Amino acid sequence: MSERERPEGERSELENFSIVGETAIGWDAKTAPNETVDEEGRIVPSGGFGIHDPRAPSRRVYDDPEVVAMREEFRAKNGWKAIEICAPHELKRIARIFRRDGYVVVKDLLDTETLERFREGCTRVLRDILAIPGFEGRKYITETGRLPHRYSYGTASASRHMMHDPVWASMIDLPTTTPILTEIMGSPDYFVSGGGGDLALPGAIEMQHLHTDGIDMGANPDVRLDYARSVGLVDIPDHKAFADLDFRTQRLVIERTPPSMTINFVMTDLTWENGPIRQIPGTHATVASPPKPEDEPDWMRFAALVGAPAGSGVFRDHRAWHSGTPNLSKEIRCLPNLEFVPPWHDERHFMKSMPHDIWETLTPHGQQICRHIKQDSGVWPFGAGVMHPLAGGRKAAHKASKEAQRN
């Protein structure tokens, strides 16, 4: 596959775009619908995170009749009738909805200045992701194992996270989010495991398949029971072990102790048209798999969080079924995130993605909750700072970074 010289028009698009408002980024007609690629950019069949959407229009063109028809259907049907939106101080309500639905939307998490900082970071890093021209006339390289025009700040980073970026790091301990996380987790002793987030360019016409971000294997049930009991998440007598509990109580313990969760921050108002995240309520406690794309009922297809305003965030239990939806607009949809694990989490699984120097800039609480992802002083987290849509490019950067530091 040959790389091409990027024409002047596209270069200036990339230099000047913003994630807020209309943009010429996206809508690349040369990138076929459902075209997914492997780690070197070779076209591969449906699979992994690139499960093909059987309903996708046949051309990636803004005013193609099939796209126009799809837009009309989404205008009429997309989004829950009215999503519940909490204010940051409504801690009890937030935790209740999170535990009931597996997610909750909270507005006003980011003040104007913080939102602007996050938008700048998202724009800057997206520019890096899109920097390499696509193969054979395409505008962009599709990310390995994903649907076209959809990228993840986390998986496109050669360190797998964005914790080396001062903007992402500065969101770790916000006056609005820390009390909410403490309420949901039951204590302030939770940890940050990383962060990144996802984005859909205009023209991401495929619906991502419903999935979970973490399957709960029911690990450490007694540790979870002890923790849930100690912080009041469940009311179960001290002498009872997990094995002594009836099925419903065991299930309650597992439900109340998500092994991991995320906050996705909303950079621009989520609309019926710009590819908001969709969430299926109550599925955080479901062990069955989500339906395949062809079997999805309409109420799941259109279960997007339409109406979540810029500056809000979606607190998500990773177990809940969710996905990105088609971005039929001319605006980029970014949902940068931070990922958290509860105090009872097994610390062996942390990736050291945060440079020591960044860690030193955090608040005392921020330092506390990031201590397991911090790299040692003088060691740069392997691969951090290199963004590449292809897994092959990221692997090479990770390896080079490791070798450079060994020598």
What residues make contact with Fe ion under the rule CB under 5 A? 213
Minimum distance between the CB of residue 210 and Fe ion, rounded to whole angstroms?
9
Minimum distance between the CB of residue 188 and Fe ion, rounded to whole angstroms?
26
228 vs 332, which CB is nearer to Fe ion?
332
Helix (H) or strand (E) holding 338: strand 333-341
94 vs 277, which CB is nearer to Fe ion?
277
Minimum distance between the CB of residue 332 and Fe ion, rounded to whole angstroms?
18
User: Among all residues, whose Cβ is closest to Fe ion?
Assistant: 213
What residues contact 207, with CB distance under 8 A and at least 6 apart?
Answer: 53, 55, 56, 293, 301, 323, 324, 325, 326
Minimum distance between the CB of residue 248 and Fe ion, rounded to whole angstroms?
29
Pairing of strands 277-279, 191-200: unpaired
Minimum distance between the CB of residue 54 and Fe ion, rounded to whole angstroms?
20
Backbone angles phi, psi at 121, to 5 degrees: -60, -45
Minimum distance between the CB of residue 213 and Fe ion, rounded to whole angstroms?
4
**Strand ranges (DSSP E) for 56-102?**
85-86
Q: What angle do CA 74, 75, 77 make, to 5 degrees?
A: 60
60 vs 322, which CB is nearer to Fe ion?
322
Minimum distance between the CB of residue 14 and Fe ion, rounded to whole angstroms?
26
Residue 261, SS3 per DSSP:
strand
134 vs 145, which CB is nearer to Fe ion?
145
Distance CA 231, CA 165 (A): 33
290 vs 389, which CB is nearer to Fe ion?
290
Answer for the pair 173, 63: CB distance below 8 angstroms, yes or no: no
Indicate the Cα dihedral angle 377, 379, 381, 385, nearest 10°: 100
140 secondary structure, DSSP code: B
146 vs 388, which CB is nearer to Fe ion?
146
Minimum distance between the CB of residue 48 and Fe ion, rounded to whole angstroms?
12
253 vs 270, which CB is nearer to Fe ion?
270
Minimum distance between the CB of residue 398 and Fe ion, rounded to whole angstroms?
22
139 vs 149, which CB is nearer to Fe ion?
149
Task: State both tokens at 352.
Answer: 């050291």
Q: Residue 71 half-sphere exposure, CB side, CA atoms within 13 Å?
A: 18
Q: Residue 49 half-sphere exposure, CB side, CA atoms within 13 Å?
A: 19
Distance CA 355, CA 133 (A): 30
Answer for the pair 313, 265: CB distance below 8 angstroms, yes or no: yes
39 vs 213, which CB is nearer to Fe ion?
213
Task: State both tokens at 336.
Answer: 């940068």
User: How far are the Cα atoms of 66, 338, 362 from residue 173, in angstroms, in the given order?
Assistant: 45, 11, 8
